[in-house]
């Protein structure tokens, strides 16, 4: 059994027995880990207020060789989640991105860029309310890091270049846009003109959406894509939608 030291964000916690807690953490060097914090509900010295969701903490944990739950030995606050609890919308936004990382990563697969992206998100949520464009930007950033980015550049079937004004045909099954010829035999959704270029502008941080109609069509595109390719329904997103759209 070896001792590890790391930085981590708390993704999830739940009570286990009378005094223990089960924690899922996303660490800087080891990726996602599950750990048990013995006596966490009673300990005032080691774990007081440190294991709350969204907290940025410094941890020490023991890990057995092979698979199994780690044993959290110590945890110290680097930065609390203070500010996120200021509104339900902020809490829902933070919950969506921690759930996003939790559901789309496997245990013990290091991914420091994703860790830094999550850090950027959670720190930004403390400072301001996220618009739907903000949420989309970080969602795209993380999808790209995880290898799930939809293709908005060229036809996903024949690879032909499509001018922006003709980027209106999107196939969730193929994971990107289609040219007119390929769309004749591939299932697709017809988007409003400017919606796909609008998504591309969000990726490049160039501008916000033109209006709420664009936002709703963009939402439909992304929800269909995520549902088909990732087979994941994010519980936190259902409530978040009531704030952002």
Span 85-126, pLDDT tens digits: 889 999 999 999 999 999 999 999 999 999 999 999 999 999
Q: What is the mean pLDDT of residues 16-20?
A: 85
Q: Residue 217: its pLDDT value, please? A: 86
CA distance 43 to 76: 13
Residue 184, Cβ neighbours under 10 Å: how many?
Answer: 9
Q: What is the mean pLDDT of residues 205-213?
A: 62
Which residue shows structure tokens 């069509």? 217
pLDDT tens column, 148-159: 999 999 999 999
**pLDDT band for position 44 (50/70/90)?**
low
CA distance 71 to 19: 14
Q: Residue 75: its pLDDT value, please? A: 92
Structural domains of the chain ordered from first start: 2-130 (2.40.50.140), 145-244 (no CATH)
Residue 151, classed as helix, strand or coil, is strand
Strands (E), the chain: 2-16, 20-27, 31-37, 56-63, 70-79, 169-171, 176-177, 189-190
Instruction: Provide the CB-side half-sphere exposure for 89 (13 A, CA).
Output: 13
Give the predicted TM-score (pTM) of the model: 0.91
Q: Which secondary structure element, helix H or strand E, spans residue 124, and what is its range?
A: helix 112-127
Task: Give burial (CB, 10 Å; 0-12/13-18/19+) of 10.
Answer: buried
Q: List the strands of the sheet with 176-177, edge to edge.
A: 176-177, 169-171, 189-190
């Amino acid at each position: 059994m070896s001792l590890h030291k790391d930085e981590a964000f708390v993704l999830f916690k739940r009570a286990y027995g009378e005094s223990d807690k089960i924690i899922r953490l996303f660490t800087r060097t080891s990726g996602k880990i599950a750990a048990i914090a013995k006596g966490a509900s009673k300990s005032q010295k080691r774990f007081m207020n440190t294991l709350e969701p969204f907290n940025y903490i410094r941890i020490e944990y023991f890990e057995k060789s092979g698979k199994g739950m780690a044993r959290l030995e110590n945890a110290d606050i680097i930065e609390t989640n203070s500010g996120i609890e200021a509104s339900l919308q902020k809490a829902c936004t933070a919950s969506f991105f921690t759930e996003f990382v939790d559901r789309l990563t496997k245990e013990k697969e290091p991914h420091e860029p994703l860790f830094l992206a999550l850090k950027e998100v959670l720190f930004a949520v403390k400072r301001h309310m996220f618009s739907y464009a903000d949420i989309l930007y970080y969602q795209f950033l993380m999808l790209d890091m995880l290898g799930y980015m939809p293709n908005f550049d060229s036809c996903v079937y024949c690879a032909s270049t499509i001018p922006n004004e003709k980027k209106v045909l999107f196939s969730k099954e193929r994971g990107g846009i289609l040219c007119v010829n390929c769309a004749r035999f591939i299932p697709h959704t017809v988007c409003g003109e400017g919606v796909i270029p609008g998504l591309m502008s969000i990726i490049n941080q160039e501008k916000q959406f033109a209006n709420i109609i664009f936002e709703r069509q963009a939402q439909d595109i992304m929800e269909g894509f995520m549902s088909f390719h990732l087979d994941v329904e994010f519980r936190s997103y259902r409530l978040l939608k009531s704030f952002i759209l």
